[in-house]
Amino acid sequence: MSTENELFSAVDALLEQAAQDDLPAPVERKRLREAAGLSQAQIAKALDARREAVGNWETGRTEPRPPKRAAYARLLEGLAQRFPAPAADAPAAAPAPVVPTATVPALTTAPAPPAVPPSRPKVASSTTRPSTSSRRPGAKKAVAKKTAAAVDPRFENGPLAVVDADQDGQVSAYCVGGLVLDVPARTIPALVDWTLAEARLGQARLHRNGRDADPILVLTPAALERYGLPAVLSDQERRHGRLADSHKVVKQIGKAGFQLTQRGFGPWARVYREPEGFKRRCVQLCILPWNALDAREWDRKDAPILPTMHPADLARYLGLYAERVMTPRGTTATTGLELMTALRPPTRAEKDEATGEFKRAFNDDALTALYDVVECEVPDEHPILKGKFARHHLRTPAEMLMEEPYDWCRPLTDDECMNQFLVALDINMSFAAAANGLTVGLNGPTHLKNNPKFDASLPGSWLVDLSHVDLSRVEINGRTVDGDRLPSPFTPKGDRPTGPAWYATPTVQYATELGFDVTPIEAHVRTRTGRYLDGWYKRLRDAYVATMADLGVTTDMGGSEFLDAMARSKQADPTMALLATAIKATAKGGIGKLRQRSRGQVPYYEEYPALKRETWRPDIRAAVLANQRVGLHRKLMKTAAAADLYPVAIGTDAIVYPSPGPSPLDVLPHTDEGKPVPGGFRLGVSPGMVKHQGTQTVLWAEEQFEERGGVFNIANLIKNDPTAGEGE
């Protein structure tokens, strides 16, 4: 007779066999997993399967087999109970009840204003207004087509609002999509309370282990006057970067039970209450008249338009930035750095199997802790260098890692002077492109002594003598390149090294790629590595490409079509043009923030706030800049080999070539089939491709050399657009 366990095993086998046909469709499997916020790796771990297998189950390529099939069916059944599929023809919700104006602040809609309207429209008013759950006309129909997970009801009004006041004192909040909210608050604390309770502003996290973005209120000059804030900060307040603690508004904030961060009430003020459990209660104020949106990053330097921009246009501008990049956190550089941690959160919640409680755990693919720094990698004012050198000592390449972009210029040869023009090419988002696919260190340094063997898989700094590398005659694809007319890839100034110097891993790797032996003297490397910046690059790339497409420049364009579209884009939508500039500044500034220097607010060799960040990683910045410089040199070599074409100046990511005509099409080499030379420069809008920066005559360049004595770089002067900065 069978035992009880044998009978149970037989029943389980029948149940497992019955589960063979109980699996939902592949599309539904994926929907259930995403609705639960689970990853394919988590499901694979629970089922003792490979992640690739789970992906194949969700696409229908393969089906799970016993015994995993029964367990997978049980998982999907449980998820289906928690996250039922949205009904295809769900009945329309009952209309919102009419609520008296005195009890609930109203949401009213206003038509989208023109780009520069003559006056600001007032918010419509009536004796009865819809409740705050109402949306702008036509929005319900659009939302009904999406799944419930597509629109987070907590943030249905967007990530931010521009707060403005009219002549009658009525305060309005302009949100994305033309939505306008009536603001009943009469003080800053009441405004923050209203934002937390009624406004439904904010942005969902970019990573499941991250946190939601706090709502942002952008205050216009009229709003400052309405809430009793000064139009400009005094000289002393400007030096401290904050409103005086004795100001009545700061006192109101304290009396209402709110707190300010250590930065105080400045251009980017954070006002918050203590969290309720895991829920943050914080609102960030962006005070436009106090230069919160610096014209060098967010506006046009020569002719700023933000001060006169209509609040609805400003909400569109910043709202698109938040949608495509993230909610602004301050400067574009600060936002670029915050984007890194938003996409790669350092910690996650992990359940303790022994106690059943959740505890903090660290993510292996993120920057999670402060580590010891290396003397050669830090800037001159770092505390670790105190007492190491004389006060005004200039560190040599053997004492300091000097990985910087190119700043190189040379005289034109007689043959080059026979050309009429100098054409400057600019690399799109050069630093972001250099970060793509780059392996960087995620942990602290390991010191390698006594002539270690170079290992390209270990990011870090290597003390190497590359003075023996002679690039005067190098063969590329069977053709000899005149290296004397090219800058050295090992120094920012393009000079040949004269002895041992510190280099980042990409620079030393390039020397080995060119066929030269390298013998490191010592090194500081990182043993835990990862492609930390990949997601960061992809989000900025997608944001830039989408914005340029709005300006009429798409990725499928090439040659003259692309150049014509770029020329037309300068007269297109000014708001989208500002957005493209802000995205580029975010990429450049985010990399720079990895080695933020002291701003002079503390004594020399003393700690400054940036050093307390896990993301203060000068070694990662050096790796990106080294990769950008050697990647540029690689293209210079291939272009020279293909067309005997050599640059005369390079400024960060701008390359100047002598040309018989004024267009990039006159200078960039092509194959016999009319395609760009493989490995060379290509015209296009994607990061890493080039666009036209400007054109000047050779005669103009010779005049500049005579007037300035040769101590300058013509690459920084050849610009058709005077608002363009040096590099991106």
Question: Each residue of 496-510: pLDDT tens digit?
Answer: 999 999 999 999 999
Report the range out of 35-44, 507-516, 668-677 with the highest average pLDDT.
Answer: 507-516
* Helix extents (H) in 369-424: 414-417
Q: What pLDDT does residue 140 have?
A: 33
Q: What pLDDT does residue 493 have?
A: 95
| 161 in the same domain as 57 | no
Q: What pLDDT does residue 71 have?
A: 84
**Token output for 600:** 């002079």
Residues 553-582 have a mean pLDDT of 92
The answer as to whether 368 is a domain residue is no
Residues 391-407 have a mean pLDDT of 93
| 281 in the same domain as 224 | yes
**Whole-prediction pTM value?**
0.79
- Of residues 302 and 518, the one with the higher pLDDT is 518
The answer as to whether 244 is a domain residue is yes
pLDDT tier at 8, thresholds 50, 70, 90: low
Contact between 563 and 570 under an 8 Å Cβ cutoff? The reply is no
With 70 as the cut, is the pLDDT of residue 117 above it?
A: no
The answer as to whether 32 is a domain residue is yes
Report the distance separating Cα 244 and Cα 256, nearest Å.
Answer: 18
With 80 as the cut, is the pLDDT of residue 22 above it?
A: no
Q: What pLDDT does residue 58 have?
A: 86
Q: What pLDDT does residue 115 have?
A: 39
221 Cα distance to chain centroid: 29
With 70 as the cut, is the pLDDT of residue 94 above it?
A: no
The answer as to whether 395 is a domain residue is no
Residue 554: which H helix or E strand, with range? none
The answer as to whether 108 is a domain residue is yes
With 60 as the cut, is the pLDDT of residue 88 above it?
A: no
**Token output for 300:** 């046009």
Report the distance separating Cα 49 and Cα 41, nearest Å.
Answer: 9
Q: What pLDDT does residue 185 have?
A: 94
* CB proximity list for 480: less than 8 A, separation 6 or greater: 473, 474, 641
Name the nearest CA neighbour of 254 among 275, 229, 273: 273
Q: Is 26 exposed, middle or buried (0-12, 13-18, 19+ CB in 10 A)?
A: middle
Q: What pLDDT does residue 127 have?
A: 28
Q: What pLDDT does residue 13 have?
A: 55
Report the distance separating Cα 361 and Cα 348, nearest Å.
Answer: 5
pLDDT tier at 601, thresholds 50, 70, 90: low
| 256 in the same domain as 159 | yes
Q: What pLDDT does residue 114 have?
A: 40
| 306 in the same domain as 158 | yes
| 122 in the same domain as 181 | yes
| 185 in the same domain as 67 | no
| 301 in the same domain as 234 | yes
The answer as to whether 629 is a domain residue is no
pLDDT tier at 2, thresholds 50, 70, 90: low
Instruction: Please name the amino acid found at residue 688.
Output: G
Q: What pLDDT does residue 301 have?
A: 87
Name the nearest CA neighbour of 131 among 78, 191, 71, 182: 182
Name the nearest CA neighbour of 421 among 724, 644, 665, 650: 665
Residues 205-228 have a mean pLDDT of 94
Neighbouring C-alpha atoms within 13 Å toward the C-beta of 70: 10
Contact between 435 and 533 under an 8 Å Cβ cutoff? The reply is yes
Contact between 207 and 344 under an 8 Å Cβ cutoff? The reply is yes
| 46 in the same domain as 114 | no
Instruction: Please name the amino acid found at residue 51.
Output: R
| 211 in the same domain as 177 | yes
Residue 206: which H helix or E strand, with range? none
* CB proximity list for 467: less than 8 A, separation 6 or greater: 496, 497, 498, 499
Report the distance separating Cα 213 and Cα 282, nearest Å.
Answer: 9
pLDDT digits (tens, 9 = 90+) for 319-361: 999 999 999 999 999 999 999 999 999 999 888 888 888 888 9
| 74 in the same domain as 181 | no
**Token output for 524:** 């500081």
Beta strands at 179-183 and 171-174: parallel, antiparallel or unpaired: antiparallel
Q: Is 502 exposed, middle or buried (0-12, 13-18, 19+ CB in 10 A)?
A: buried
CATH of the domain at 24: 1.10.260
Residues 244-267 have a mean pLDDT of 93
The answer as to whether 164 is a domain residue is yes
Q: What pLDDT does residue 150 have?
A: 58
With 60 as the cut, is the pLDDT of residue 113 above it?
A: no
Alpha-carbon torsion angle 430, 431, 432, 436, nearest 10? 100
Contact between 168 and 121 under an 8 Å Cβ cutoff? The reply is no
Residues 403-420 have a mean pLDDT of 93
Integer CA distances (angstroms), 672 to 642, 669, 677, in order: 12, 10, 10
Return the bridge partners of 129, or none: 99
The answer as to whether 465 is a domain residue is no
Strands (E), 630-721: 649-652, 654-659, 690-697
**Three-class SS of 256-283:** CCCEECCCCCCCEEEEEEEEECCEEEEE
Cα dihedral 581, 586, 587, 593 sign: positive
Final residue of a structural domain among 296, 327, 358: 327
| 23 in the same domain as 54 | yes
Q: What pLDDT does residue 599 have?
A: 81
Average pLDDT over the chain reads 85
Beta strands at 216-219 and 160-165: parallel, antiparallel or unpaired: parallel
Backbone angles phi, psi at 273, to 5 degrees: -110, 165
Contact between 427 and 529 under an 8 Å Cβ cutoff? The reply is no
**What is the extent of the structural domain holding 35?**
19-82
Return the bridge partners of 180, or none: 108, 174
SS3 560: helix
Number of CB atoms found within 10 A of residue 532's CB:
22
Report the distance separating Cα 227 and Cα 248, nearest Å.
Answer: 11
Final residue of a structural domain among 327, 360, 387: 327
| 254 in the same domain as 169 | yes
DSSP state for residue 441 in the 8-state scheme? E
Report the distance separating Cα 717 and Cα 707, nearest Å.
Answer: 14
Residues 105-131 have a mean pLDDT of 36
Report the distance separating Cα 240 and Cα 128, nearest Å.
Answer: 46
**Token output for 29:** 């499997």
Final residue of a structural domain among 284, 301, 327: 327
Q: How many structural domains does the chain have? A: 2
Question: b/e map of 665-692 (b: 16 or more CB within 10 Å)?
Answer: bebbbeeeeeebbeebbbbbbebbbbbb
